[in-house]
């Protein structure tokens, strides 16, 4: 089975997510999120909660479960929506998505 690839036709779905990272997901956007979440864990960007409801940091998952998550120094967020948008765009670029 061929894996779905992100193309220029998917840019409207990226805009949909960036407008409201917590809202309703259209089937097209959900397909893209499934692709992003379905990748193996190694190097996948994640959001680490440093202080509940106040401060988050960017991290990357290790290759194996149980190993420590790598914190990316200097990249912190003060609202969860900004963190979600940034992680989405980083995963989008990792998958070869076009400029948004």
Domain edges within the chain: 8-94
Quote the pLDDT of residue 40: 83
Those residues of the chain that have pLDDT short of 50 are 1-2
Residues 95, 97: Cα–Cα separation, whole Å = 6
Contacts within 8 Å (CB) and 24+ apart, 44-53: 44/91, 45/87, 45/90, 45/91, 45/94, 46/87, 47/77, 47/80, 47/83, 47/84, 47/87, 50/76
Quote the pLDDT of residue 5: 86
pLDDT tens figures, 43-65: 999 999 999 999 999 999 999 98
Quote the pLDDT of residue 14: 97
């Amino acid at each position: 089975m061929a894996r779905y690839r992100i193309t220029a036709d998917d840019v409207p779905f990226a805009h949909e997510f960036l407008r409201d990272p917590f809202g309703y997901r259209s089937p097209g956007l959900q397909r893209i999120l499934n692709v992003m979440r379905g990748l193996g864990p190694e190097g996948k960007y994640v959001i680490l909660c440093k202080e509940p409801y106040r401060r988050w940091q960017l991290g990357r998952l290790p290759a194996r479960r149980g190993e420590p998550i790598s914190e990316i120094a200097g990249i912190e967020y003060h609202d969860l929506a900004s963190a979600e948008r940034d992680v989405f765009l980083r995963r989008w670029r990792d998958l070869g998505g076009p400029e948004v």
